[in-house]
Amino acid sequence: MARSIFLFNTHDLPHRAGEMREYELDLKITEAVGVDLLSVKPGEIIEVDLRIQSVDEGVLATARVVADATGECTRCLKPITWPIDENFTELYYYETSNTKAAAKRGSKGKSNKEEIDLDEDDLSFLDGDDIDLEPAIRDAIILNLAVNPLCTEDCPGLEDKKGENWEYLSASQTQSLTDQRWSALKDFPLKN
Ligand SMILES: [Zn+2]
């Protein structure tokens, strides 16, 4: 199986608290990252400015994630581009006998993407020298996406449909207004 593009090898970082390294990564993704309506598409690049630091418990990763998600306006279906710019911080623990059980749960969750959201409390662990940036990057991107993306804040929607709706509405409103005016006139004292 090909190595995941989200795995980052930290062998250049000495395991001594205080050590730090910085990287600029261009991750060309092979499957969409995002939600159904809006996602970074396969073949697109996710830029990650990554800083890794050695701390007592493991490796602390701080990153800025920049990418463009694409999708459709939920009102008028026009194609839209959604810029993503988000930071994350993730601590990857060294695997110890104490944390092994938790680590097993963590890696089980990662194989089933649907479980990631449910198990947010799961800790992340180094796998040898590797840290898996995928869950943190996915979360950062999904955090940035709108639930109902619009091309513009005041998108009028599908013009034709709305026109029909207005015609229908104003016809019935006019009708009831006229009725009210007539009924008011009926009771109006016409004597001077
Ligand atoms: Zn629109």
Dist. CA 7 → ligand 1 center (Å): 37
Dist. CA 160 → ligand 1 center (Å): 13
Q: 10-residue block means of pLDDT along the chain (192 residues)?
A: 92 94 97 94 98 96 98 94 96 76 51 43 88 97 92 85 46 48 54 52
Dist. CA 156 → ligand 1 center (Å): 7
Structure tokens at 22: 């910085």
Residues 188 and 102 in one domain: no
Dist. CA 50 → ligand 1 center (Å): 35
| Number of folded domains that form the chain | 2
Residues 127 and 33 in one domain: yes
Residues 75 and 166 in one domain: no
Question: Which has the closest alpha carbon to 140: 4, 2, 6?
Answer: 6
Residues 83 and 130 in one domain: yes
User: What distance in Å separates the CA atoms of residue 180 and residue 187, rounded to the nearest whole number?
Assistant: 11
Dist. CA 161 → ligand 1 center (Å): 13
Residues 39 and 69 in one domain: yes
Dist. CA 79 → ligand 1 center (Å): 8
User: What distance in Å separates the CA atoms of residue 133 and residue 122, rounded to the nearest whole number?
Assistant: 14
What pLDDT score was predicted for residue 134?
97
What pLDDT score was predicted for residue 118?
39
Residues 131 and 57 in one domain: yes
Residue 150 lies in a domain: no
The number of angstroms, rounded, from the C-alpha of 89 to the middle of its chain's C-alpha atoms is 16
Residues 132 and 162 in one domain: no
**Residue where the block lists tokens 């005041």:** 154
Q: What is the CA radius of gyration of the chain?
A: 28
Dist. CA 30 → ligand 1 center (Å): 28
Residue 1 lies in a domain: no
The beta-strand segments (E) located in the chain are 7-9, 20-28, 33-34, 38-40, 45-54, 58-72, 79-93, 124-125, 130-132
Dist. CA 187 → ligand 1 center (Å): 49
Residues 43 and 67 in one domain: yes
Range of the domain at 136: 7-144
What pLDDT score was predicted for residue 96?
73
71-110 residues labelled b (16+ CB within 10 A) or e (exposed): bebbbbeeebebebebebebebbeeeeebeeebeebeebb
Dist. CA 69 → ligand 1 center (Å): 16
What is the distance between the terminal CA atoms of the chain, rounded to a whole angstrom? 97
* pTM score above 0.75: no
Residue 135 lies in a domain: yes
Residue 189 lies in a domain: yes
Residue 102 lies in a domain: yes
Dist. CA 154 → ligand 1 center (Å): 8
User: What distance in Å separates the CA atoms of residue 115 and residue 138, rounded to the nearest whole number?
Assistant: 13
